[in-house]
Structure 1
């Protein structure tokens, strides 16, 4: 079960780990010309110093969110990840078991909320900040500039600049939904087991939004459904609707674990397919299958290729 993310999301993998490792080493006073000495020096630094200086690695505010992700380590004695996840999926190197994938209506709130008071600067310096927003900062900014401008132009709903809502939509699509749906497409082609897909839109008393802003912001934020599956941020009592949604989520989880096929509100779910249809979990009284209609946004991101790790990796090799 993959809730709000898969291995193909842009924040899930770092292509050029040496780049950011050197920046960290320099920040804590280690030399970077000799890699072995650099690693030895980093290991000798207190953990508190390492954590303190990770703030030096952000390009703009908290961006990029993920600094030290898994890497392809095929040359290791016991590699954790021997190839790009995209390549592993294409070659069928994935468990052939039933799988549930999901995203929330407004995934991008987790990033737009913390950037809410910096949107003017983000628009003004989009060429430089865009790669940090999209987690494509492994490659040179000049390489991405034209693509970044096209993406901004597409998502700017009124005029040339991105609004708060535009930023939320872009974050939802680029940081979450695109990678999730690419994973579904690739896995559907190489497995026989069913794949189930849902979009979560219920907003209740407990939400990650409350940790990011005191303001009343509408929308189902990243991680919103986790509360109903696993508990966690239960700082406020559940409303009656929250309790109903919790019961639906627990039904989904228990039937999936027991039977390999989720069932909720007396509905046995049908697998998704290449059309990427998903179940809507908005109202605990209504759980229904919906067609995926966001084809224009997805088509743009697919054409731009900027979220494809294989595409970025080829460019990094060209630079080297």
Structure 2
């Protein structure tokens, strides 16, 4: 096994320029063995030690497919050479919409990357662990072989860890029993965090000062790590950008039905679940990933056909055995500080695909009653007899009797964002603040930089506002946008770097106003409004995100109200 681990990493080494493989590269020693890396530079030219492509679990292939992650074997007394990121996990990518080949990645994908600025040798640094987004279906920060960029955050005294985890059916398929219990991707995350806890000291990191950051599904994942016993004690605080475990798409219904449909697509029998699972383990990973699109009838809606599930207590390393709301209300959530927040145009993911396309918008208008349950994610939880009523209530509230066209497209973006991101977030912070003693804070980021994810999402040069994902990429860089285009952008970036790394370093975000935590006794939302460089204020709103509308509808999240024709 030791030799196999070294041989598996050899192709990564061969793909890297010679100057990165020189004898002067950094080397660290961990309980697993030595790791050799390379040097790079931060955005402002600071020297950085980089270790890319470190295995944190055994490859989830063969009989380990659909299983919980397994401990990686030590490679001592040798070293591994970690100078190129591992591949993303096999996935059906969502962006760009016009991509010719959508199946990317490899099944052998459980690798992480560690970046540390060169500081005085005695200084122990706090650690930020970044969990990528992508609706649990794909790696949101992956583009043409590029991943999350450490360039900006390495100008501060923190260590950054990034990693890949299983996504789509390979990461979240479930048969509703112990054969494939589900949540493989979430278990990968917990395993990676545990790896950091046990090994980061060798890199000069403080295992007692680990902060989780995540965007979208990564933000949901950060929150989920509070709810699982697998991760308690592994981190000190968390930050969820645009995502939390009470989002409607953060829990999956109809698991066996979906598993059987997937089996049919790839040519496996479905009558006996044991035989179905045995067959699914033999099918090519790319074939399984390609089937993802057959579960989204309108562009990428519903956005998470395969996602977190409630497992049975008898499952292998069960991640959660109750719905998130119940875990929090029972006082079982990990009691450490948590911050979450949103931007104005959250609904651009996944709404941009049809809201920015006149032909698609016209189709949505014509088929609204049929498609609204998928777009607003209530197909599985609201009885079929009430679908029309709920869809019409949402439509009338946001656009009245107007048609769905370019004049009302932005209101649909807001409706999608309020339902998929805002509603769950507001309910989550209220619930967490009621049952946890640690401070829970909420922010609203409205600064509109020169660049935005709205441009690649809509495939236009039109101004669609502050898009889903714009805010964290000022800190943790992305290949999809440039947050340093103008002097104002760079000023905003410097302040956000200080703000969020300050949270990881000191436990308190560095902002020029007192950031009041959420109180469960308050009827209105109290939040930090980030308007731009030097523009911070505490604001409040009794109906933020039209929450009165959304909470007046019984969506019964986490419960299955009979069979639905989502498939």
* Alignment TM-score, normalising by the size of structure 2: 0.53
Give the one of 57, 63, 83 matched to 2:295: 57
Q: Which residue of 2 aligns with 1:215?
A: 461
- Pair 167,2 (structure 1): closer, same or farther in 2 beyond 3 Å: same
Alignment partners' CA distance in 1, 2:535 and 2:444: 13
Deviation of 1:227 after TM superposition, in Å, equals 0.9
- Conserved in 2, the CA contact under 8 Å of 1:98 and 1:261? no
Q: Could you say if the C-alpha distance between residues 296 and 169 of structure 1 is closer, same or farther in structure 2, counting changes exceeding 3 Å?
A: closer
- What is the deviation of 1:180? 0.4
Instruction: Return the alpha-carbon distance in structure 2 between the equivalents of residues 165 and 67 of structure 1.
Output: 25
Q: Tell me which residue corresponds to 2:448.
A: 203
CA contact (8 A) 2:254 2:563 kept: no
1:128 aligns with 2:128: no
Greater helix content:
1
Which residue in 2 is equivalent to 1:88? 327
Contact 1:226–1:232 under 8 Å retained in 2: no
Moved more, 38-47 or 4-13: 38-47
Question: Does the 8 Å CA contact 1:3/1:102 hold for their aligned counterparts?
Answer: yes
Matched residue of 1:115: which SS?
A: helix
1:69-116 residue CA offsets vs partner (Å, 9 max, x unmatched): 010002414211111001111111112111111101110122232012
Larger deviation: 148-157 or 65-74? 148-157
Pick aligned residue for 1:74 from 309, 312, 316? 312
- Shift, 1:289, TM fit: 1.0
1:217 deviates by 2.2
Structure ID, larger Rg: 2
Separation in 2 of the partners of 1:99 and 1:170? Answer: 26
**Structure 2: gaps (5+ residues):** 1-238
Residue 205 of structure 1: CA displacement?
A: 3.5
**Is the Cα–Cα contact under 8 Å of residues 201 and 281 in structure 1 kept in the other structure?**
yes
Task: Please tell me whether the aligned partners of residues 103 and 198 of structure 1 are also in contact (alpha carbons under 8 angstroms).
Answer: yes
Q: Which residue of 1 aligns with 2:340?
A: 101
The verdict on how the C-alpha distance between 1:57 and 1:170 changes in structure 2, with shifts beyond 3 A counting, is same
Deviates more, 1:219-228 or 1:234-243: 234-243
Deviation per CA, 1:109-136: give whole Å up to 9, x if none: 2223201221222122222111211223
- Give the number of the structure whose residues are more often strand, by fraction: 2
State the Cα distance separating 1:260 from its structure 2 match: 2.2
Residues 380, 563 of structure 2: 8 Å contact kept: no
Please tell me whether the aligned partners of residues 454 and 464 of structure 2 are also in contact (alpha carbons under 8 angstroms).
Answer: no
Alignment-derived partner of residue 437 in structure 2: 192
Deviations 1:172-208 (A, max 9, x none): 1100000000000111111111111111111224422
Distance apart, 1:144 and its partner CA: 2.6
**Is the contact made by 2:447 and 2:531 (CA closer than 8 Å) also made in structure 1?**
yes
Aligned to 1:144: 387
What SS does structure 2 have at the residue aligned with 1:183? helix
Residue 119 of structure 1 is matched in structure 2 by 361
8 Å Cα contact 2:422-2:545 kept in structure 1: no
- Secondary structure of the structure 1 residue equivalent to 2:418: helix
Matched residue, 1:110: 349
* CA drift at 1:296: 8.0
Cα separation, 1, equivalents of 2:304 and 2:527 = 28
Q: How do 1:255-294 and structure 2 match up within 5 A?
A: 255-264=502-511, 266-273=512-519, 274=522, 275-294=524-543
Q: Among residues 170, 176, 183, which one is paired with 2:421 in the alignment? A: 176
Judge conservation of contact 2:298–2:371 (CA < 8 Å) in 1: yes
String of CA shifts for 1:274-313, please: whole Å, max 9, x gaps: 322111112213111111243582111111122x414x43
For the residues of structure 1 that align with 2:388 and 2:428, how far apart are their CA atoms?
26
Contact 1:263 1:269 in 2 (8 A): no
270, 283, 287: which is aligned to 1:45?
283
- Paired positions, count: 315
Distance in structure 2 (CA, Å) of the matches to 1:60 and 1:13? 20
User: In 2 relative to 1, CA 165–66 (structure 1 residues): closer, same or farther, beyond 3 Å?
Assistant: same
> Does the CA contact (< 8 Å) of 1:128 and 1:141 recur in 2?
no
Over aligned residue pairs, what C-alpha RMSD do you find?
Answer: 2.2
Question: Is 1:19 aligned to 2:240, yes or no?
Answer: no
User: Residues 198 and 279 of structure 1 are in contact (CA less than 8 Å); yes or no, is this contact kept in structure 2?
Assistant: yes
Question: Is the CA contact (8 Å cut-off) linking 2:418 and 2:545 kept in structure 1?
Answer: no
Give unmatched runs, 5+ long, in structure 1. none
